[in-house]
Each structure stands twice: as structure tokens, then as C-alpha cells.
Amino acid sequence: MPSDLSSLVHWILFLPLGAAALSALFLRRAGRIAAWLSTGVAFAIAGLSLQLLTSATAGALTWHVELAKFGSISLGFGYLIDANARLMLFVVSFVAAWIHLFSVGYMKDDQARGRFFAGLSIFMFSILGIVVADNLLMTFIFWELVGFSSYMLIAHYFDKDYAAAASKKAFIVNRIGDLGFILGIAMCLFLYDTLDFAALKDHAAAAGPVVPFAVGALLMCGFLGKSAQFPLHVWLTDAMAGPTPVSALIHAATMVAAGVYFMARVSFLLAPEVLHFIAISGAGMAALAGLCALAQTDIKKSLAYSTLAHLGIMGCAIGLGRPDLALMHMAMHAFFKATLFLGAGSVIHGCHHEQDMLKMGGLLKKMPLTAVTFIAATLSNCAVPFLAGWYSKDAIIEAAYHGGHIAIFAFLALAALATCLYSGRMIRLVFLGEANSEAASHAHESPWTMTLPLVVLGLVYSVAGGFLAHTIIPAGSLQPIGKALGEVAFHLTAPSTIVGLISLVIGFFGALKFYGSVRGADALQVVSPRTYHLLEHRWMDGLYHWYVDAVQRRLAEFVAFLDLLIINGVAVRWIGGGVPAVLGYLTGRSFHRGQTRAYALWIVVGTLFLAWFLIAR
Amino acid sequence: MENTSLAHHLILAGLLFVLGLTGVLMRRNLLVVYMCLELMLAAATLALVAFSRFNRTMDGAVLVFFVITVAAAEVAVGLALIVALFRKRGTVQSDALTTLRD
Amino acid sequence: MDTFPATLLALAITAPILVGLILLAGRDLPRSFASGFAFGGFAIPAVLSPWLLILWSNPSTAPQQFQSEGFWGFGFALNGLGAPLLAMTSLVGLAAGIKALTQEVEGRNTYLGLILFMLGGTLAVFGTNHLVGFYFFHEFALIPTFILTLFWGGEGRRPAAMQMAIYLTAGAMASLAGILIAIDASGVEYGVATFENVAQGLQNAKSIPAATGALVLFGLGTLASLFPFHSWAAPGYSAAPTPVSMLHAGALKKFGLYGIILLGLSSLDITGGSLGTWFLWFAVANVVLVGLICLTQRDLKQMLSWSSVAHMGPIFLGIWVCGVSGKADGLDAAAFLMVAHGLSCAALFLLANAVRARAGTYRLDELGGLATRTPILAALFIAATMASIGLPGFGNFWGEFGIFLALRAQPLWLQALVASTVVISAVYALRAVASTFFGPASEALEKRFAAAPFGDLGWAERFAAFILLGASLTIGFVPSLITKSVNPVAAGITTFSQHNAKAPVKAVKPATAAPTKR
């Protein structure tokens, strides 16, 4: 493989690290320069990734160097740029570049712009590292770094209690997943004596079709955390405490997709039982999260649940044994969900930081560009035929149907219906009708740095993405999803299409009508408060709170008490005070009566004893 | 010197040492205890000289010089301490000096 | 032969001791003169030791070039495990020294001199390969520690210093007994009782008294706060003045581990038999139980002190697994973590003190929202916290992760227990960060700020923190800096200890089924 391509990867990976270091160390007060530096770097990476994508060759690009050795374990650092990685690189860097541009406008008045853009750059470094990694160790390194950078970005408004709490929660929940991930890596090393993906694949192939259940199950834990899959999904909705571009970048387009990408990369290590679990839980979560999105008034939280639903769908595709479909959906989803989040950001910005959808309304006229792109992305989200979302989502539903997994199919169909419902609700509440608050009535369109990314991502990619991918970009470079694209092939009579169309019509238009019936409040809450409350989804958090408060903290306090009582109190104090006391009693306290002569006697006795010991030996 | 052997010297040193030790253990006056200590030191010195003489090496004799030097320094410090103690407490009886017991 | 490296080594070790002597003798030296002098004493080793590490890792310099006769019979000599620890100690020493120089204390020259003694003694421990020298210098470093804690410490310093002195002296006596018995059993003359010679001698010895391993393990384990001999550590670190906490928790503690590795692991079979079982459970308790105790702490410095005890758990386990599995990976990783923990732990103590200087308290419930006032302090503190909980990029990651990997052949429940530290440590560390720096500023803090406005971290402390975190980042990005030096030692010890182990180690590798039981 030509070395110039691997140096290309060096640039892609280390440019953002350099930008981050520069911003963090020297540009803390020069937010404007930091912003444009970071954005420039992001666009440069996007260009380089495009070059890598189009200069596709048949094999994978590899490059490896050994950093150090622990015993026989080689700690390696290297790249494995196969077709999946090329695609992922392109999607991540492209979406990220536009989000960077958006952030320039969105964060214009923020005091801590330098820190924010340094955070974005370090995040880029981390996520790109996961994409190019050629071994489990390096994946884990960047996996952790992604966790850290998302922690920093969520904590951007650190003087708010909720942001502090949300960042902590995101990091810790991710770490719980990583616990399993670490064990999985250790087990891989134990079983196959390597952490290298290529070597692992050979070993797994050589070992036959039976892969140890535990390996896959443990590696899956990391995926559950990072991709916010049940039961570790609780951090994602809270993570909306960060600035909106962060939500778009991390919690919609890239970070959560990293888990999906990783599962695709190690899919050969997943045992059938693991796949089955992922499929069922993914589909279940897709349906549940879709419905929960109906009971959120905060526009970003509603979108966060929508993301959870899509992640469930991607997980489901992995579980169905179709990582290619999952990747394709990841790519499509990245584009339209980024548009949705950026659109939401533009709306929030326009409405003077109002996030409550019930207080918006009638923004179609005031923010036309934002509205049009948002609606286009929404339609893509609802899988309107020939829009980007349709290609991938329907293919997954189709795969479930063909695989004969009726339960999964039913869940996915429910998820599709829920998607259309919450999308319709969102459009109705935010853009149609009349303004429901002072802020919304004075809304204004956002500057070009914010609308340009919306137009590019929203109109070009969300709408035409699938079509473009289908026709323009050379087929070879899209190898991983080429097959999936070919399969879809406009089966307008396929069950998935029928289900999709029915739910689209019923859900979308039903929601538009239903939510138009009540003004200034949520129609569902008015009609059925109990359903609404159930969907608000606080019980999972409640469960974890109960665990932390009632179980973990009490256990910790109990241990601390025991330590104080037994080790410090009984054992040490007893031995320390007890032994001399007993000896003193036995010897009539002749040890310490303050008589110099007695001490001298004991010295003599000790010396004689020592002499006897040395001579007798 | 013809009729004395190493054993004679060592027995003498041992007797001196036990004498000193008994004094240290039995006597109460610190000054006397101190003199007995010096007696023990002298016993050790005697043994060293005897070894040196009968082994025909100078090691022991050289060591004795060091011991004497150190002992001289020790006497200076020790006597000073005892004098200071007497000035402060008015007694040098070891049984009376039991402040640290409580 | 070129003895330049040996000269460097001798200079690095003696410089702080000599300067310390001068400062102790010259209690009335003028302030600026004493400061400059002391700074020299702190800076010389910090420049020379990393240089020595690089020279050591260079294959063209032979180990003999690092040996010198010395004045006191047991000369200085470097080994592959000591070299990185020496470098780490000197950097921690420089940071601690800078902190000490900025402090206003009574008897400043004595204070500085004693800290220099601590530093010199610790450097000497890692810079000698003689067993008696090892013991001597460890006492040499510990005695100033007691004195400093007793006279210059903070709240509760008297009981803490007494407790520390009793524990550590008891531990030292046990380890001295162990060392003497080991030398005796090895049949090596005291004059040449180096780690290598004694290990070699024990290898050929017909019988080693049964308790030797236990004496060495628990005696030196007390120094390194092995559960259940850890009770002195948290109060001791908390009560000590900050430079002393930095040096003690960061550097001094490591020589317990150093001795356990070079004497216990290599030739006394401390991981075999029932002793090995006890060792394992104590180490696991260090990870899990002490980790849980950390969760209950409501005081920033107490929390840091406890966490520094908890972080010893993985190191002990790395040593343990090396003995059990006969593979060097655990030991390599443990050595790496020893170095990295020293750096991150010292940085945390340094910055926590800066928090206290501003907020006036270490109590977490009274702190809050400090980041708005002191962004740089907050950023550095978060960086140090992240280093200590094993974020990649910092050195601790390699150590912790390497130890998890080294445990791979052990039962899954054991691995899970040990790896649970990644969650537990994240919980308590992030909680501390959040309640110190995040959220709205607490009322008490606002009042203090209104009464006497405080600034962000001063340049001196900033520099000290940069040294520590920079070093941690450097070994995080270039781990071979440490491993090149440690690998041969670890490999050597492993072959040795394998030779010594009574029972052969089972290496069962199931082809398909998951290993749930070993």
C-alpha cells in the first residue's frame, strides 16, 4: 500500500489534535481565532477523507507501529482503512465540518469559545481514531477519549447544576459499559493472543462457526454504553444539557454511531445469542423511545429520544446479522439527524434560547430557511420514499421481515409509526399555527454560518443522499453499502414499504391534526394524562437512583464503617493496646515501672538470649 | 608472661565485666552505676588487647584506641548529664527518677 | 569505562541531601539565599534523573556504568526498575519543592531542608541496589516525613503522625527482619548483598525460612498501604503539609512496592501457597473495599488520600499475577502504573491545596462553582483527575489497562472485581470535580471572594502542575520511555520466580468455550 495514503491518515488523525492543543494552550481568550482554526481543520479533514474515499483501492490500507510491550503483549497503534472505515471517515468528517461551521454562528456570543472549539477538535481526534483503529486496544483508547470529550462538551455550561450532573452521568454510564468492554478485550487476548482486528478475524474463522458467547457479550457492553442502548441509554437524553451543536455532532451524528461502527467491525466475534439479544433489545428500544419522544416538550429531548429510536434500529440491523445495513442507516441518519439538531439549534437561537416546543409555533414564516430544511429532514426521518432515510430504514425492516422475525418486525413497524407521530407533532408545534410566546413571535432567521450547513446537510444530503449515493459516487468506494442499496431496488410492494407508507399517512397527518386541536398545551397530556406521564420516561432514572442511593451508597458506608470498626478499631487497637496489657499483667508490669535497673536487666536478658541463639545455631 | 595464656586474660576480663554488670544492676546511685559501666568497658578493652597480643595482629590494639576515645567523650557527656540532673532534681538515686512511668 | 552516568547518579542523589544539610545547619541563612539554594537542590535531580533514564534505555550504555562505590560501603547503582522511578521521584520532588518554596511557614529553612532529605533519601532508595542500602535510605526518607507531618501538618496532625510512625516502624521492622533472614539464607556476604546477588543466592539456597516471604510482603506492604495495613495512609496524607503529601503518596510509597518486586517476587515466592492467596485477597480488598470507602468521603483531601490507597490495589494485583502466571506483562504494567500514579497523585495533592487556599476548606459540600473564578485551576485539576482515573493519553491508562490485560487468564469474576475500579474511581473522582468546580458558586465561596478576591493559579504552582501532567502525558504518548527500561528487569524476574515457584502454573487454554473457571 502506498505510503502517501497512510500519511494522509496521519494528517486526518493528528490535525484536530494539533488544533485542540493550540486552542487549549494559547487561544483561550482568542475565541474567534480558535473557532475558525477548528472549523478550517474540520473542512480540511473532510476534504482529505473525500480524497481517501475516492482513491479507493481493492484492499485495505494498513499501517502499524508498536508503541511498547508489556511482557508479550504488544501495545500497537495502527490504521486499518477498509471500505467501512473509508465510508465512516467521510460521513463523520463531512457532517462534523458543517457542524463546526454552524457552531461558529451559534456560539458567537459565548465567553468560552476557545474551550468549546478545543473540545470539538479533541472530539474529532477521538472519533476519527476509533474509525481508523486497527486493533482493540487503540479502539479502546479512542473510545475512552470520546467519552472524555463528550464529558467536557456536555459540561460546557458547567455553572448550571443540570449540566454538571448530566456530564457526570454520561461519563459514568459510559464507563459501566467500558467495564464490560475491558473484560471483552482481555478475553480476546486470552483466547486468541492478539488484539489485532485482522488477526482476530483469521483466528475466529479458523476456530469455526462457534465463537465464545462471552466475548461477544462483553464487547457488546461497550456498544451498549456508547451507543446508548438499553439499559445504558439513560445518559443520552440528559446529555442535551450541552450546547446544541454538540448534541448534533456527538449525540446524533457520530459518537453514538461509533458503537454501531465498532459492532460492525467485530461482527465476526459475536455469537448468535448475542446477536439475538441485540436485535430484540434494539427493536424494543426503537419502539419505546419513539413513543417516549411524544411526551417531551423540550425540542432537543424529543430529538434525543428520536435518536435513541434510530440507534435501536441500527442495533437491530446488527442483531439481524446485517452490519452493512446498520452502517448505511448510520450514514443516512447522521445526515438527517444532524440537520434536525442544527435546525433545532437555529430555532432555539432564533427564539432567544427557548427550548419548549409548546411555547413556539408559526415559525415557518419567520424562519423560512430553517423551517424548510427542518421539514425536509423530518420527512427523511419518517422514511418518505426516495428520501435518504427511506433507503436504509426500510431495508432494515425488510430484513427483519425476510428473516422471519415477526416480533422484531412488529416492533420496528411500531417504531416507524411512532417516528411519524412525533415528527408530525414537532412540525405542528414548532412551525405551524400561531406563535405561543413572546420569544417565538420575535423570532428571526439565523446568520449564514448557521443556515448554510442546514441547507447543505438538509436539502442535499438528507433528501437526495440515498439517491446520490446510488448514482453518482463510484460503486467501488461504497462497497459496504452497495449491496444494501442494490437490494432496496424500489420494491414498492414489499411489506416494509407498505407498512412504512401506512404509518406515514396515519402517523404524520394524524399528528398534524391531533396536535392542532389544543393550543399552548400538549394534546396527549390533555386527553390522557396518564399515558403521557408513562411516556415521559422517568422510571428508568428512578431505578438507577434507587440503586445508587439505597444499595451502592449504603454498601459503601457499611464498608467504611467496618474498616473503621474492625481494622482500625478492633484489630489494630486491640493488638496495639492488648498485647502490652496482657504481657504487662503476666510480668507484673515489670516492663515499665520506671526502674532503670529493671530495664538494664531486660537488656542483659535480651543480649544473653541473642547470644545463645547465635551460638546454638 | 610465660605462664599466662589467653584464657587467663579472658577470665579476668569476664570477671571485670560481671563485676561491672552486677554494679549496674544492683546499685542505685547513678554515679556509681556510671563507674560500673566504665568497668564493663574496661573489661571489653582488656579482652581486645589480649586478643591482639595473642593473635599477633594490631587490630584489637587499634580498636582500643577508638574505644578509649569514645569512652572519654562519653564520660564527658554522661557526667554532664548527671550533674545537670542533680541540679534539677536534687537527687541521683535511680529509683527516684520515675517521672516517665506515669 | 565511561563512568559519566555513575557520576550523574551520585550527583542527583547527593545534591538534595547536601543542600538539605546546609539548610538544616544554617537555620538563619537569609531567605533569598536559602530559596535559591533549595531550588537548586530540587532542580538538579529533576534535570539529571530523566537524563539518566534516557541514558539507561540506550542500549549502548552498560549497567556497570551506572555503579559507583559511594562513601558508605554500599554505593549507588541503577537498575531498570529504579531508573523510571528515580525520574518520577525527582519530578515529583521538583514540583513539591516549588510548592514548598511558595509556602510561608515557620522555620522555613528547616522545613525545606527536611523535605530535601525526604527527596534525597527516596532518590537513594531507587538509586541503590544494595539491600541494606535500600533499608537504610528508606528510613532516611521516612524519619523527616514523620517530623514534617508532626510539626508542619494540618488538622489532626499529632495522632496522624503518631499512627503513621507506629505503623511504618512496625512495617519497617518486619521488613528488616525479612531482609536480614533473606540475606542470611542466601549465604551472600553483607558487603555484596545486592538485589541480584541475594536473589541468585536464594535461588541456590537449600531452604528459606517459611516466614521470610510474609515478613517482606507485609512489612513492605505496610509502606505501600496494602489492605489491611492501610489505616495510617489516609489520615497521614491528609494531615501532612502538601509537599510532604505529594512526595509521600507519590514517591515514598513506591519503595514498598519496589522492594516487594525486587526481593519478594523475584525470589521469595510471595504469590505461591497460602501467602499468595492472602496476597490476592488483600489486593482485591484494596481495589474494591477501599474504592467503596472513597465513595463515602466528604472531604477533598481525604478522598484523594483514600483514592491513593485504592490505586495501589491494581499495582499489587499486577505483581501478584506476574508471580502466578509466570508472565512479565503484569509486572511491566505494575511498574508503569507506579510511575504514572506518582505523577498524577502528586498533581492532585498540589491542586487540591490550591483549592483550599482559595475556598478555605476541603469540605466538598461547602465547595462549588470554583471553575468560574479559577478556570486554569479547574482545567488542571480535571486533567489530573482524568489522569488518575486512567484516561488514555496519560500514563496511568497504560498501567491500569495493562494490569487488566495481564489478569486475562484469571477467573472472570476476579477480572470483573478488579476492573470495577474503572467505574468506582470515575464515580468518586467526578463527583469531587463536580462538587468542587461545577455548578453555581457556593454562598460561602462568594462571601470569601467578596471579602478577599483570589486569583487563578499562580505561576509557580502552574509550573509545578505542568511538570507533573506534562510528564504523565509524555509517558502516555511514548510509553516505551518506561517499558524499554522495565521490560528486561520484568522478564528477568519472571524467569527467576518461575524457577523458584513450587507448583507449575497451569496454562489451560480452551479453544472454544468461554473460560469461566481457571
C-alpha cell at A202: 483469521
> Which residue, among A185, A200, A411, has the nearest Cα to A319 in the 3D structure?
A411
Q: What is the dihedral of CA A177, A180, A185, A186, to 10 degrees?
A: 150
Residue A572 CB neighbour total at 10 angstroms: 18
SS3 B29: strand
CA atoms of A534 and A536, how far apart (whole Å) = 5
* Residue pair A135/A78 in contact by the 8 Å Cβ criterion: yes
pLDDT, tens only, A580-613: 566 556 555 555 556 677 778 888 888 888 888 8
Q: Which amino acid would we find at residue A477?
A: S
pLDDT of A51 above 90: no
pLDDT of A447 above 70: yes
Cα-only R_g, chain B: 17
What Å distances lie between residue A146 and A10, A120, A142, C284, CA to CA? 18, 10, 6, 29
List chain C residues with CB under 8 Å of A71: 327-332, 406, 487, 490-491, 494
pLDDT of A474 above 50: no
CA atoms of C37 and C19, how far apart (whole Å) = 7
Q: What is the CATH number of the domain that holds B79?
A: 1.10.287.3510
* Residue pair A422/A511 in contact by the 8 Å Cβ criterion: yes
Q: What is the dihedral of CA A7, A8, A9, A14, to 10 degrees?
A: 80
Q: Which chains touch C (3 or more CB pairs under 8 A)?
A: A
Interface test mutation site (partner A, options B18, B81, B95, max chain A beta carbons within 10 A): B95
List chain B residues with CB under 8 Å of A601: 25
Residue C413 CB neighbour total at 10 angstroms: 10
pLDDT, tens only, C69-117: 655 555 788 888 888 999 999 999 999 999 988 888 888 888 999 999 9
Average pLDDT value for chain C: 84
CA atoms of A229 and A280, how far apart (whole Å) = 11
Residue B98 lies in a domain: no
Residue B102 lies in a domain: no
What Å distances lie between residue C395 and A123, A558, C88, C178, CA to CA? 20, 33, 12, 33
SS3 A484: helix
C-alpha cell at C361: 476548606
Interface test mutation site (partner A, options C286, C338, C427, C475, max chain A beta carbons within 10 A): C427
Q: Give every residue of chain C whose pLDDT is below 70, as ranges.
A: 1-2, 62-66, 68-74, 496-518
pLDDT, tens only, A555-587: 777 777 776 666 665 656 556 566 656 655 655
C-alpha cell at A431: 412551525
A70 and C402: CB-CB below 8 Å?
Answer: yes
Q: Which residues contact A491 (CB under 8 A, 6 or more apart)?
A: A398, A497
When CB atoms are compared, the residue of B94, B99, B102 closest to A597 is: B94
What Å distances lie between residue B29 and A451, A593, B95, CA to CA? 102, 18, 9
* Alpha-carbon gap: C141 to the closest alpha carbon of chain A (Å): 25
Total domain count for chain B?
Answer: 1
CA atoms of A441 and B87, how far apart (whole Å) = 98
pLDDT band at A463 (very low <50, low <70, confident <90, very high): low
Residue with the three cell numbers 496522624 = C160
C-alpha cell at C389: 482515573
- pTM of the entire predicted model: 0.83
* Alpha-carbon gap: A604 to the closest alpha carbon of chain B (Å): 9
pLDDT of A477 above 60: no
When CB atoms are compared, the residue of A592, A593, A601 closest to B25 is: A601
C-alpha cell at C497: 520466580
When CB atoms are compared, the residue of B25, B95, B100 closest to A600 is: B25
Phi/psi for A76 (5° steps) reads -105, 160
> Which residue, among C498, C314, C280, has the nearest Cα to C507 in the 3D structure?
C498
Find residues 1-30 of chain A whose CB sits inside 8 Å of chain C. Answer: 24, 28
Query: C and B: touch, per 3+ CB pairs < 8 A?
Result: no
pLDDT, tens only, C240-295: 898 999 999 888 889 889 988 888 887 787 887 788 888 899 899 888 888 888 88
The percent of residues in chain A predicted with pLDDT above 70, rounded, is 79
When CB atoms are compared, the residue of A71, A161, A186 closest to C404 is: A186
* Residue pair C123/C49 in contact by the 8 Å Cβ criterion: yes
pLDDT, tens only, A505-546: 777 777 777 776 666 666 666 667 777 776 666 666 667 676
Query: A and C: touch, per 3+ CB pairs < 8 A?
Result: yes
Q: What is the DSSP string of C255-286?
A: HHHHHIIIIIIHHS-TTSHHHHHHHHHHHHHH
Q: Which amino acid would we find at residue C225?
A: S
List chain A residues with CB under 8 Å of B99: 594
CA atoms of A166 and C471, how far apart (whole Å) = 31
What Å distances lie between residue A164 and A149, A152, C308, CA to CA? 14, 10, 25
Buried residues in C284-296 as b, exposed as e (16+ CB within 10 A) = bbbbbbbbbbbbb
Residue B88 lies in a domain: yes
Phi/psi for C67 (5° steps) reads -105, 140
CA atoms of A238 and A241, how far apart (whole Å) = 6
When CB atoms are compared, the residue of C331, C423, C511 closest to A176 is: C423
pLDDT band at A470 (very low <50, low <70, confident <90, very high): low
Bond prior to A209 in cis (omega within 30° of 0):
no
CA atoms of C262 and C195, how far apart (whole Å) = 6
CA atoms of C343 and C251, how far apart (whole Å) = 8
> Which residue, among A601, A323, A287, has the nearest Cα to A483 in the 3D structure?
A323
| Angle, CA A390 vertex, CA A385 and CA A392 arms, to 5° | 150
Q: What is the DSSP letter of A507?
A: I
Residue B28, chain A, CB below 8 Å: the answer is yes
Average pLDDT over residues A315-332: 82
The range of the structural domain enclosing residue B17 comes to 6-93
* Alpha-carbon gap: A546 to the closest alpha carbon of chain B (Å): 54
When CB atoms are compared, the residue of A158, A189, A213 closest to C408 is: A189
| Angle, CA C260 vertex, CA C255 and CA C263 arms, to 5° | 110
List chain B residues with CB under 8 Å of A595: 94-95, 98
Phi/psi for C81 (5° steps) reads -85, -35
When CB atoms are compared, the residue of B21, B94, B102 closest to A596 is: B94
* Alpha-carbon gap: C379 to the closest alpha carbon of chain A (Å): 10
List chain A residues with CB under 8 Å of C426: 171-172, 175
Q: Report the residue of chain B nearest A597, measured CA to CA.
A: B25
* Alpha-carbon gap: A113 to the closest alpha carbon of chain C (Å): 13
* Residue pair A152/C393 in contact by the 8 Å Cβ criterion: no
Find residues 138-157 of chain A whose CB sits inside 8 Å of chain C. Answer: 140-142, 144-145, 148, 152, 155
SS3 C206: coil
Interface test mutation site (partner B, options A589, A597, A603, max chain B beta carbons within 10 A): A597
Residue B16 lies in a domain: yes
pLDDT of the residue at A571: 58
Residue A612 CB neighbour total at 10 angstroms: 10
Residue B84 lies in a domain: yes
Residue B99 lies in a domain: no
Phi/psi for C501 (5° steps) reads -60, 140
List chain A residues with CB under 8 Å of B82: none
CA atoms of C309 and C317, how far apart (whole Å) = 13
> Which residue, among A305, A527, A515, has the nearest Cα to A427 in the 3D structure?
A515
Q: What is the DSSP string of A36-104?
A: HHHHHHHHHHHHHHHHHHHT--SS-EEEEEEEEEETTEEEEEEEEE-HHHHHHHHHHHHHHHHHHHHHH
Query: What ipTM, to 2 d.p.?
Result: 0.86
* Residue pair C274/C395 in contact by the 8 Å Cβ criterion: no
> Which residue, among C303, C170, C145, has the nearest Cα to C238 in the 3D structure?
C303
A159 and C441: CB-CB below 8 Å?
Answer: yes
Residue A445 CB neighbour total at 10 angstroms: 17
CA A29 centroid distance within chain: 30
Q: Which chains touch A (3 or more CB pairs under 8 A)?
A: B, C
pLDDT band at A359 (very low <50, low <70, confident <90, very high): confident
Q: Which residues contact C101 (CB under 8 A, 6 or more apart)?
A: C35, C38, C39, C112, C460
> Which residue, among C250, C318, C202, has the nearest Cα to C94 in the 3D structure?
C250
What Å distances lie between residue A284 and A35, A238, B101, CA to CA? 41, 21, 77
C-alpha cell at C499: 524457577
pLDDT band at A476 (very low <50, low <70, confident <90, very high): very low
Residue B70 lies in a domain: yes
CA atoms of A330 and C178, how far apart (whole Å) = 62
SS3 string, A138-166, reads: HHHHHHHHHHHHHHHHHHHHCCCHHHHHH
Q: Which residues contact C479 (CB under 8 A, 6 or more apart)?
A: A67, A68, A75, C336, C395, C398
Higher pLDDT, C351 or A57: C351
Residue B33 lies in a domain: yes
Q: Report the residue of chain A nearest C404, measured CA to CA.
A: A186
CA atoms of A46 and C203, how far apart (whole Å) = 61
Host H or E run for residue C382: helix C375-388
pLDDT of the residue at C512: 40
A72 and C328: CB-CB below 8 Å?
Answer: yes
> Which residue, among C385, C449, C342, C331, has the nearest Cα to C81 in the 3D structure?
C331
pLDDT of the residue at C517: 36
